[in-house]
Structure 1
Amino acid sequence: MKIRRTKVHGRDAVYHCMTRVVNGERLFKDRDKEMLRKMIWQIADFCGVQVLTYCVMSNHFHVLLRVPDLQNVDDAELLRRYQVLYPKPTKYQSASAKVLASEFAKDSEDADEVRRKLLARMGDVSEYMKAVKQRFSVWFNRNHQRYGTLWADRFKSVLVEGHGNPLQTMAAYIDLNPVRAGLVEDPKDYRFCGYAEAVAHSAGSGAAAREGLLRIWAAYADGGLRHNVSKSVALRMHRELIFGKRASEAGISEMSREKALKVLEQGDGKLSKAAVLRCRVRYFTDGAILGSEEFVRGFVGAWQRERGRKRPPKGHALQGADWGDLSVIQGLRSQIFS
């Protein structure tokens, strides 16, 4: 699915992307998840985008991705990013890097073409997802004596307002995937998600995961996106959002998924955010644009033109919980929670 890169009122764009294995098969074991985790980070470095958090499951993965509005990439940085793709280069790949460096030094027409092709793969959410899926497919099929399509044809993408409640809620939803699946009670115990990586790793590893968590919660500290919030504050606030304030210290949820669904099935049931995040919430995968009412309203015209609709869409406030000022542009008529 081609996702158009979107400028968001002078800010960087943030996307929640999710893709599933074909037919929903639960193919990935721990070794596969670890390799996919590494590729998620590796290709983010190549593309010049920032992973804010992620979660790798046995038949799908999620990534919350910040795409910078503008990038200045000189030849030295282009060469570094090219080499990032080959941490253990073959002789051919090493030779290719030397040829690339030589062409850049000559500043020839061939060098301009190489620059154009490399830059076309950077700073774009669709190119990022394409690279992750293709490279992992090659690795997975080779290591499992398998051939053919690994991923379902399309990936889902939601444009997320890049600060405050929308960003923080989306990040918590992604990190809670293994809890909703019944694999763990606390996402810090699931090694293939951004929150666990930020919590568990010592200095020297997991730095990128911690940087993502700090950016998610920077707005809590100063109302902007500057990196001046401490790790301890970011972890505390994220944990309170995941578990609810009363339960965060004990490390338990306020309500089980089963009880939460029973309340929501009543039609007018309303829960705490921590409780409803333990359910599958289609707003976060199918809502298309997630943010404050004002943020969503800013995309009404573009949404109408892209889809050739006669009438402009209306923002839809999220139901079922105390979401704060959260809306989506894609209305959901049925089975919002499961």
Structure 2
Amino acid sequence: MKRIRRTKVEGAAATYHCMTRVVNGERLFKDREKEVLRKMIWQLADFCGVEVLTYCIMSNHFHVLLRVPEEQNVDDAELLRRYQVLYPKPTPYQSDSIKVLRAELAANSEDAQETRRKLLARMGDISEYMKAVKQRFSVWYNRNHNRYGTLWADRFKSVLVEGKGNPLQTMAAYIDLNPVRAGLVEDPKDYRFCGYAEAVSGVSAAIEGLRRIWGDHDTNPLRAHRLLLFGQGSAASSKGGATIAREEALRVLEQEDGLLPKAAILRCRVRYFTDGAILGSAEFVRSYAAAWQMERQRRHPPKMNRLKGAEWGDLAVIRGLRKAVFS
């Protein structure tokens, strides 16, 4: 897999929306596959030291909203704990390897220093996290389906997201509404393979993700998130803009160049959230434009583009989209 460049946020936590698809878009994942992938998303996040704020697994792709904390020292005890996270039910050989690793780290030999360096290099990085999830799931899937070869498309898409307020909350809602856009459910709480449904069911890690997303905005992050998912009403059956038919929404957006309530537009596929490169307030986008340009060796500085189609607030992206924005 070719390594994805990502705009670095020096000296601060960074938040990314990552999305990857099955090769050729094949719809391979049923409930069993989604459940295994769900567990791996959480498991590898613990190992890599990143935080899953929300996610959604569909039949041929998955999304994950990740917060990468500031760089911090990982001592040997934590390193061993994370290593064992990868093997919750180790084979006898794996148990021996953990004992060897523990002894090496205690002796602080040259081999131990190299092992420590290699393990730490896999932590706190979205490319390493996505690589680990995709590789580990590919091995499981091919083994259990008598299959060979590549499972995933070569690259995953990533968007740097402003890690607070409207940008973060809107991106999270967009991710959780994937099964609604696909027509699988009317309410994402009824789709078990997304972060919002896990939070509603009481999973502490998913609830903590919503707390991160909403911060001090509301004492009840579940309620705040639901209000964004469904507009002013708190139920899927609420009357108003959020229930507008998708075909009508697209007509208003693309043919009439009109505006829709945010809760309605999020039920369309909005390419800003997967292809916009950097998403946040205008100030946030401008502040990382130069780094984005330098990493990609662009001759001309990118333009800041405000989102259209709804009352997005101060939301903007760095990458102008030439094709239809909504679909």
Q: Same fold (TM over 0.5)?
A: yes
Where does residue 337 of structure 1 map in the other structure? 326
Deviation (angstroms), 1:219: 4.5
Q: Secondary structure at the match of 1:53?
A: strand
Give the Cα–Cα distance (whole angstroms) in 2 for the partners of residues 194 and 19 of structure 1: 17
How far is the alpha carbon of 1:6 from its aligned partner? Answer: 4.5
Aligned to 1:109: 110
Does 2:183 correspond to 1:213?
no
Say which SS state the counterpart of residue 265 (structure 1) adopts.
helix
Instruction: Report deviation, 1:2.
Output: 2.5
Unaligned runs of 5+ in 2: none
1:90 Cα deviation (Å)?
Answer: 0.6
TM-score (norm 1): 0.93
CA contact (8 A) 2:7 2:288 kept: no
1:254 is displaced (CA, Å) by 3.1
Matches within 5 A, 1:215-294: 215-221=212-218, 230=219, 233-245=220-232, 247-249=233-235, 251-252=237-238, 253-294=242-283
Which structure has more RCO (C-alpha within 8 Å, separation ≥ 6)? Answer: 2
**CA shift in 2, pair 1:152/1:250, >3 Å:** closer
Q: CA deviation at 1:266?
A: 2.1
What is the Cα deviation at residue 3 of structure 1?
3.6
Partner of 1:87: 88
Q: Which position in structure 2 is the counterpart of 1:313?
A: 302
Structure 2 vs 1, CA of residues 333 and 4 (structure 1 numbering), >3 Å: closer, same or farther? Answer: closer
**Aligned partner letter, 1:125:** I
Query: How far, CA to CA, are the matches of 1:48 and 1:84 in structure 2?
Result: 11
**8 Å CA contact 2:4, 2:155 repeated in 1:** no
Deviation at 1:267, TM superposition (A): 3.7
Partner of residue 134, structure 1:
135
1:295 aligns with 284
Equivalent residue of 1:32, what SS? helix
For the 8 Å contact 2:230–2:236, the answer to whether it is kept is no
Does the residue aligned with 2:29 lie in a helix, a strand or coil? Answer: coil
Query: What is the letter of the counterpart of residue 29 of structure 2?
Result: F
Aligned residue pair count: 323
Q: Distance in 2 between matches of 1:13 and 1:312?
A: 22
Tell me which amino acid in the other structure corresponds to 1:248: S
Contact 1:164/1:219 (CA < 8 Å) preserved in 2? no
Does 2:65 match 1:41? no
Contact 2:165 2:214 (C-alpha < 8 Å) held by counterparts: yes
Residue matched to 1:149: 150
The residue type paired with residue 335 of structure 1 is: A
CA positional deviation for 1:71: 1.9
Segment of structure 1 superposing worse, 25-34 or 63-72: 63-72
CA–CA distance in structure 1, aligned partners of residues 87 and 186 of structure 2: 37
1:255 CA drift (Å): 1.7
Sequence identity, in percent? 76
Amino acid corresponding to residue 317 of structure 2 in structure 1: V
Q: Give the partner amino acid of 1:317.
A: R
1:22 and 1:322 map into 2 onto residues whose CA distance is 35
> Normalised by the size of structure 2, how large is the TM-score?
0.96
1:7–1:69 contact (8 Å) kept in structure 2: no
Counterpart secondary structure, 1:311? coil
Check 1:76–1:5 CA distance in 2 against 1; reply closer, same or farther (3 A cut): farther
- Give the counterpart letter for 2:224 in structure 1: M
- The residue type equivalent to 1:21 in the other structure is V
Cα distance in 1 for partners of 2:122, 2:294 equals 27
Residues 7 and 291 in structure 2, CA contact (< 8 A), matched pair in contact too: no
